[in-house]
């Protein structure tokens, strides 16, 4: 309908399994000739940098480093040496004799001795002296663990957790399985986790995510060819990538060239849903927003959405919800738009549901976000969307996904990426599965994971805001997977900014709308700095 905004494409760090990460290590060492002990050196340096950044320098800190026998322990030995060389009071405990360590870790054990730094071999947790220290570095277990920690390691983990000291985990809190969000036994509860180049599934998915604390994704210089050889089509969204993919406006832009959004929404008692979606679309950059609502709610909605245009649509008598006889007028409204959001607050009257189905079957349908009650209209047959010749984004929460897919909520929570991929393939649509974290999948199997958002966003209307943001991005020319991914990240970041200002307890959907422009600004600034 108008000049579309420029897009530069969306990428992000791959989200990998432990085996995929092991392969990156292997290629870096065996093919690209980077010694394993050098990778340990780099990893240890990144950990020390992050400790210094988080605790405002190293001066005066007293730190305990607890090392297992694997590569993670080797990283810990490097951390101990670099901290001591920086003047930090460090005590280094080994859970196994040095002879049990791998070749690369033994190199760093020798470097500790050459620097005059002693280590202490401990047989039981009772030998740990923690009370006089400020911080613990966890280097017991890395990403190679499968299942739960062994009893002896679990005993050390429990004592470290009970110390009350902040813990910095190297790569992954000890005891967590890198490939799942499940906690199976004792695991370190970290204040900070420092990982390297590629995040793992346990870093992002609950309940394991909660044990990671703040996550610092750092680079230790794995060769690009080694990273590229890792066959993952799952990516983590970052501020740098999101900011770089935001729609750009021409200097001569006007409202007709910035995208027109249609919002088909609202019923008795739920005008707020329509208003929130419309306001979010405007805050997300749409040049024009048109809201179609039941006639008897029209005057109320005009007061709620000052900057949007409202359209009175036929309604079911005495039910104040959209009527099937209004199909022609609804399609006329849809035909004026570059993208639409349909579903917020519509209600589930059978006429309204049939109206939704017929709108979605329109041959002239623009890109569409199917949300809330409109998802209910699809029943358990999202495959009907495959016949549409337009981009479609579905935005279910777990309960709605269960109805769409026929999969239990328990299984969806256990395997959100798998379920999102399956429904995307079955429907031919981009699927945004709301949650912590939010997962976005397309029919090819590509997945993006958004790390933003917080528990304060568990508030009525937050999903309506997300639908409006995605519709605005679609209207500005973003492809469906990109629009959904950007929308999820920006929506969550807006909630995070609102939480930082107001706290979680009183955060409302309106607060998320208010902070949307700030989330756009923040990601753009980060992207420019990265460039």
* Token couple for 273: 């849903």
Q: What's the pLDDT score for residue 227? A: 92
Q: What's the pLDDT score for residue 94? A: 98
Asked if domains 18-232 and 253-530 share a fold, the reply is no
Nearest to 440 by CA among 370, 488, 492, 474: 488
DSSP class per residue in 266-314: --TT-HHHHHHHHHHHHHTT-SEEEEEEEGGGHHHHHHH-SSSEEEEE-
What are the boundaries of each domain within the chain?
A: 18-232, 253-530
3-state secondary structure 410-424: HHHHHCHHHHHHHHH
CA angle 179, 181, 187 (to 5 degrees): 95
Residue with tokens 């209207």: 475
- The Cα 35–Cα 456 span in angstroms is 46
Q: What's the CATH code, domain 18-232? A: 3.40.50.10260
Tens of pLDDT, residue by residue over 49-72, are 999 999 999 999 999 999 999 999
DSSP class per residue in 231-265: ---EEE--HHHHHHHS-B--TT--GGGS-EEEEE-
Q: Quote the distance between the C-alpha of residue 12 and its chain's center.
A: 11
Which helix (H) or strand (E) covers residue 360, if one does? helix 350-360
Tens of pLDDT, residue by residue over 316-350, are 988 999 999 999 999 999 999 999 999 999 999 99
Q: What's the pLDDT score for residue 268? A: 96
* Token couple for 255: 């409202």
Counting as low any pLDDT under 70, the low residues of the chain are 1-9, 530-531
pTM: 0.93
Q: What is the DSSP letter of 394?
A: E
Q: What is the DSSP letter of 322?
A: B
- The Cα 118–Cα 500 span in angstroms is 43
Q: What's the CATH code, domain 253-530? A: 3.40.1190.20
* Token couple for 454: 């917080």
Nearest to 342 by CA among 243, 263, 256: 263
Is 103 exposed, middle or buried (CB count within 10 Å of its CB: 0-12, 13-18, 19+)?
Answer: exposed
């Amino acid at each position: 309908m108008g000049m579309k905004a420029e897009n530069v494409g969306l990428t992000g760090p791959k989200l990998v399994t432990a085996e995929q990460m092991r392969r990156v290590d292997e290629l870096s060492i065996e093919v690209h000739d980077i010694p394993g002990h050098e990778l340990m050196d780099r990893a240890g340096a990144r950990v020390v940098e992050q400790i210094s950044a988080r605790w405002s320098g190293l001066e005066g800190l007293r730190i305990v480093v607890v090392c297992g026998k694997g590569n993670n322990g080797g990283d810990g030995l490097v951390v101990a040496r670099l901290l001591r060389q920086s003047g930090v009071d460090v005590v280094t405990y080994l859970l196994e004799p040095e002879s049990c360590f791998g070749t690369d870790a033994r190199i760093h054990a020798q470097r500790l001795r050459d620097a005059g730094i002693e280590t202490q071999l401990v047989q039981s947790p009772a030998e740990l002296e923690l009370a006089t220290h400020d911080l613990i570095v966890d280097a017991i277990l890395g990403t190679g663990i499968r299942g739960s920690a062994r009893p002896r390691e679990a005993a050390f983990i429990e004592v470290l957790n009970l110390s009350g000291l902040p813990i910095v985990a190297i790569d992954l809190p000890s005891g967590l399985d890198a490939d799942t969000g499940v906690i199976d036994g004792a695991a370190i509860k970290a204040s900070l986790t420092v990982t390297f180049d590629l995040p793992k599934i346990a870093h992002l998915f609950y309940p394991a995510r909660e044990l990671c604390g703040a996550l610092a994704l750092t680079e230790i210089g794995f060769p690009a060819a080694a990273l590229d050889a890792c066959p993952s089509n799952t990516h983590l969204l970052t501020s740098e990538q999101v900011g770089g993919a935001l729609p750009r406006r021409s200097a001569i832009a006007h409202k007709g060239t910035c995208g027109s959004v249609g919002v088909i929404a609202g019923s008795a008692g739920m005008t707020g849903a329509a208003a929130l979606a419309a306001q979010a679309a405007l805050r997300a950059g749409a040049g024009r927003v048109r809201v179609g609502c039941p006639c008897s709610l029209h005057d109320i909605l005009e007061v709620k959405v000052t900057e949007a245009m409202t359209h009175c649509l036929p309604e079911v008598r005495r039910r104040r919800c959209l009527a099937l006889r209004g199909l022609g007028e609804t399609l006329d409204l849809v035909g004026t738009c570059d993208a639409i959001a349909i579903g917020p607050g519509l209600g589930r009257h059978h006429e309204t549901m049939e109206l939704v189905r017929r709108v979605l079957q329109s041959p002239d349908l623009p890109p569409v976000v199917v949300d809330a009650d409109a998802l209910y209209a699809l029943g358990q047959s999202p495959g009907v969307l495959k016949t549409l010749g337009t981009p479609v984004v579905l935005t279910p929460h777990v309960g709605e996904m269960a109805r769409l897919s026929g999969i239990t909520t328990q299984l969806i929570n256990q395997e959100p990426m798998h379920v999102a991929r399956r429904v995307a393939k079955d429907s031919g649509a981009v699927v945004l599965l709301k949650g912590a974290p939010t997962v976005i999948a397309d029919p090819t199997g590509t997945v993006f994971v958004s790390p933003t958002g917080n528990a304060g966003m568990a508030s009525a209307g937050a999903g309506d805001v997300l639908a409006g943001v995605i519709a605005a991005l679609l209207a500005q020319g973003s492809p469906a997977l990109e629009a959904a991914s950007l929308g999820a990240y920006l929506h969550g970041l807006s909630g995070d900014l609102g939480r930082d200002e107001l706290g979680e307890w009183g955060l409302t959907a309106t607060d998320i709308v208010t902070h949307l422009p700030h989330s756009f600004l923040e990601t753009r600034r980060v992207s420019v700095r990265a460039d």
